[in-house]
Amino acid sequence: MTNTPERVERAARHLLAARRAGVAGPLLPDDCRPDDIETALAVQRRVVELSGEPVGGWKCALPPPGRVVVAPIFASTIHASGGPFRVVADAPTVRIEPEIAFVIDRDLPPRERPYDEDDVRGAIREVRLALEVLGCRYAEPPRATVPELLADGQFNQGLCVGPAVPGGLHATLDAIALELHGGVNRSIDGRHPDGHPVRPLLWLVNFLAARGESVRAGQIVTTGSYAGAIDTPLGQTLTVRFGALGSLAVELVA
């Protein structure tokens, strides 16, 4: 089926309505379900435009064959750790992912020459501990197609941002011993799925630049979980220790 601007518009309005209602709903109707990655990305962009909200950050990962893992994070869903974090949940738990995030110091606009790792490292203002809070605008995400999930933002519900990492990029970021306490009590030998969190950031910068878009100063970028997705009870203070890098605490509430 041809993916027209009208289909993109209908899909974006459907997803934005579900986001604003705070209730997971049905899959996209057949007449506006994206068939491919490009259309799914167009739906992503249109959701942001219709919302009128600024993009506060991005989530990304090195893409597996035939896919991309990228989504904007609304500024209104990014919150500092240390207090309550309101979530949308239809169960007494919500899934979180322990991550390392990068605060960008300057715009990285499109240019003729691709960015290299030194360019990207030089544009990082801070390295921060973070938890991505997962959620989906579809009540039955296992039934959604890959483009449908991409259009919805790759399961992002928000980002809890913790303290800056001492030493920043000089710290060991490829492997982190994680400890979780408060409702969840686990020790995890955490490893970044792409080897080092800067690698997906470099991919993101060049991916957006090739599309005429930019990672902008002040945005925060998160690049993959060190421990997969972890079910976490609501209403309890969760403390996550990232080895020698520090810890963050948050109370997830519905």
For the chain, residues with pLDDT lower than 50 are none
Reduced to 3 states (helix: H, G, I; strand: E, B; else coil), residue 194 is: coil
- Reported pTM: 0.96
Query: What's residue 183's pLDDT?
Result: 82
Which pLDDT belongs to residue 29? 96
Residue 131 has phi, psi (to 5 degrees) of: -125, 125
d(CA 7, CA 166) in angstroms, rounded, equals 47
Please report the pLDDT score of residue 1 as a whole number. 54
Burial of 112 (0-12, 13-18, 19+ CB in 10 A): exposed
H or E stretch at 94: strand 93-104
- For residue range 58-86, list pLDDT tens digits in order: 999 999 998 999 999 999 999 999 999 99
What are the tens digits of pLDDT across the range 16-31? 999 999 989 999 999 9
Looking at residue 46, its pLDDT comes to 98
- Find the helix or strand (DSSP H, E) in which 233 lies: strand 230-233
Task: Check: CB of residue 8 under 8 Å from CB of residue 35.
Answer: no
Domains and CATH numbers, the chain: 54-253 (3.90.850.10)
How far is residue 187's CA from residue 117's CA, in Å, rounded to a whole number?
32
